[in-house]
Homo-oligomer: A and B are copies of this chain.
Amino acid sequence: MAKNIIVGQSGGPSAVINASLAGVYVRAKEKGYDTVYGMRNGIQGLLFERVVDLDDILKSELEVELLKKTPAAFLGSCRFKLPEIDEAKGTYERIFAILEKLEIKAFIYIGGNDSMDTIRKLSDYGAMVGSDIRFIGAPKTIDNDLAETDHTPGYGSAAKYIATSLKECLLDEVVYSTKRTIYIMEIMGRNAGWLTAAAALARGDDCPGPDAIYLPEVNFDIEQFKSKVASSLVTKNNVMIAVSEGIHLADGTFVCEMSKDNVAVDAFGHKQMGGTAAFLAAYCEKEFGIKTRPIELSTLQRCAAHIGSLTDVTEAYASGAKAVVAAHDGKTGMMTTLVRHSDKPYTCTVGLADVHNVSNVERCVPLEWITEDGSNVSADFEFYARPLILGENLPVMINGVPRHLVLPKE
């Protein structure tokens, strides 16, 4: 009987989720798994037996290297919420029947919070029915909001892109001596402000960083915001404010809802954000009567592998590889974690945590890292985040643009 392994990707894309996939593939071959299957579009595709044999695609070290430099989700992703076990036993029976048919011994799922919820449910069901299939999660989220891990693969590269883009925009904004402009940069993050806080990493000898940073961890006070902008305009012609898409008033109203009648909701019941910068820009234009420019980093921030962090891609790869080792060692219901051992020098290894402690827990920026008036982050944040954006993961450039590895169509 064959000893096969299957790997899937789930949730939002990132610059390094494919580096984790590369780590899974390479270590799985080293550990003697026969076939390394990839699920197309995660668990949703698996339910339709949409799988690929990764040997057919990753034919040499060159393909593996390109995979490590390809953003988004090579295998395709899904946002599929697995029902609770007692609600839909048939679904679980179907999944396990497919896995047994494919002679799967290990199931690796690379994703965020909801994906770890999938690992939790599958491993719980596996234990219930006495299955010997091992279920291990590998964390992935630009949001950096998973529990039990120092940080998540994907965050460092997104943070590097955000800091770099903001730094470049800051240079752009000051070129005119007389023109006054308020820039509002909107950065992803519903409940956790990690990505927006990364705006602070633009700071250096050559750059003051943004004038203010507003995170969703604290309530947004529009009067405080107004006086912050006003005081910045006393000494400067141009003001740059970084805001999280998820900032909200004390009563829970999202700032982006202040200009809209309603807000869409996704499959997980999460509110769809967007329009925070546009609202605040319009507000500032009205209050200050000067030009404003909203900048939404939008999709760009989660797929910008061209300015990826080498630290991030290295850790993502190691995290995927460790997931295979854990499954091979007989562990199940676990997620690989990044364990920081020291700050200076920065050292980090890959550990393991019980996925029950991870799924459905959201890790936010500690309140003590946010300044008292809620308009910036402290040096502690920078101390934490700076190592994560270090090193360059340069793309393979062909014809002037980064080359990517693409999964052939079915």
Proximity string of chain A (70-96) to chain B, C-beta cutoff 8 Å, 1 when within and 0 when not: 111100111100000000000000000
- Are A169 and B303 in contact (CB-based, < 8 A)? yes
Task: Say how far A44's CB is from chain B's closest CB, in angstroms.
Answer: 7
| Assembly CA distance A293 to B188 (angstroms) | 14
Binds B, one of A101-109, A347-355, A386-394: A386-394
Of the residues B175, B303, B406, contact of A13 by C-beta under 8 Å: B175
- Are B72 and A401 in contact (CB-based, < 8 A)? no
Residue of B nearest to A181 (CB): B299
Of the residues B77, B172, B304, B398, contact of A71 by C-beta under 8 Å: B172
Task: Say how far A213's CB is from chain B's closest CB, in angstroms.
Answer: 16
Chain B residues closer than 8 Å to A303, beta-carbon distance: 168-169, 171-172
| Assembly CA distance A306 to B169 (angstroms) | 12
- Are B79 and A403 in contact (CB-based, < 8 A)? no
Question: Is A151 an interface residue when CB atoms closer than 8 A count as contact?
Answer: no
- Are B71 and A13 in contact (CB-based, < 8 A)? no
Of A291, A309, A404, which is in contact with the most chain B CB atoms at under 10 Å from its CB? A404
Question: Is A164 an interface residue when CB atoms closer than 8 A count as contact?
Answer: yes
Question: Is A160 an interface residue when CB atoms closer than 8 A count as contact?
Answer: yes
Which range contains the number of A residues in contact with the other chain?
35 or more
- Are A299 and B306 in contact (CB-based, < 8 A)? no
Of the residues B13, B293, B399, B402, contact of A390 by C-beta under 8 Å: B399
Task: Say how far A41's CB is from chain B's closest CB, in angstroms.
Answer: 4
Residue of B nearest to A275 (CB): B278
- Are B405 and A206 in contact (CB-based, < 8 A)? yes
- Are A177 and B44 in contact (CB-based, < 8 A)? yes
Task: Say how far A9's CB is from chain B's closest CB, in angstroms.
Answer: 8
Chain B residues closer than 8 Å to A173, beta-carbon distance: 299
Chain B residues closer than 8 Å to A169, beta-carbon distance: 299-300, 303
Question: Is A345 an interface residue when CB atoms closer than 8 A count as contact?
Answer: no
Question: In the complex, which residues 120-178 of chain A have their Cβ closer than 8 Å to any Cβ of chain B?
Answer: 160, 163-165, 167-169, 171-178
Question: Is A40 an interface residue when CB atoms closer than 8 A count as contact?
Answer: yes
Copies of this chain assembled into the complex: 2
Of the residues B72, B176, B264, B402, contact of A41 by C-beta under 8 Å: B176
- Are B171 and A13 in contact (CB-based, < 8 A)? yes
| Assembly CA distance A401 to B171 (angstroms) | 14
- Are A206 and B403 in contact (CB-based, < 8 A)? yes
Question: Is A179 an interface residue when CB atoms closer than 8 A count as contact?
Answer: yes
Question: In the complex, which residues 267-317 of chain A have their Cβ closer than 8 Å to any Cβ of chain B?
Answer: 291, 293, 295-296, 298-300, 302-307, 309
Task: Say how far A108's CB is from chain B's closest CB, in angstroms.
Answer: 18
| Assembly CA distance A305 to B165 (angstroms) | 10
- Are A307 and B307 in contact (CB-based, < 8 A)? yes
- Are B204 and A78 in contact (CB-based, < 8 A)? no
- Are A404 and B207 in contact (CB-based, < 8 A)? yes
Interface residues of A (CB under 8 A from B): 9, 13, 40-41, 44-45, 70-73, 76-79, 160, 163-165, 167-169, 171-179, 183, 201-202, 204, 206-207, 264, 291, 293, 295-296, 298-300, 302-307, 309, 386, 389-392, 394, 397-406
Q: A76-B176, A204-B399, A306-B307 given; name 7 further pairs at CB < 8 Å.
A: A13-B171, A72-B171, A169-B299, A169-B303, A201-B399, A309-B400, A389-B401
5 closest Cβ pairs, A-B complex: A389-B400, A72-B171, A172-B303, A77-B175, A168-B303
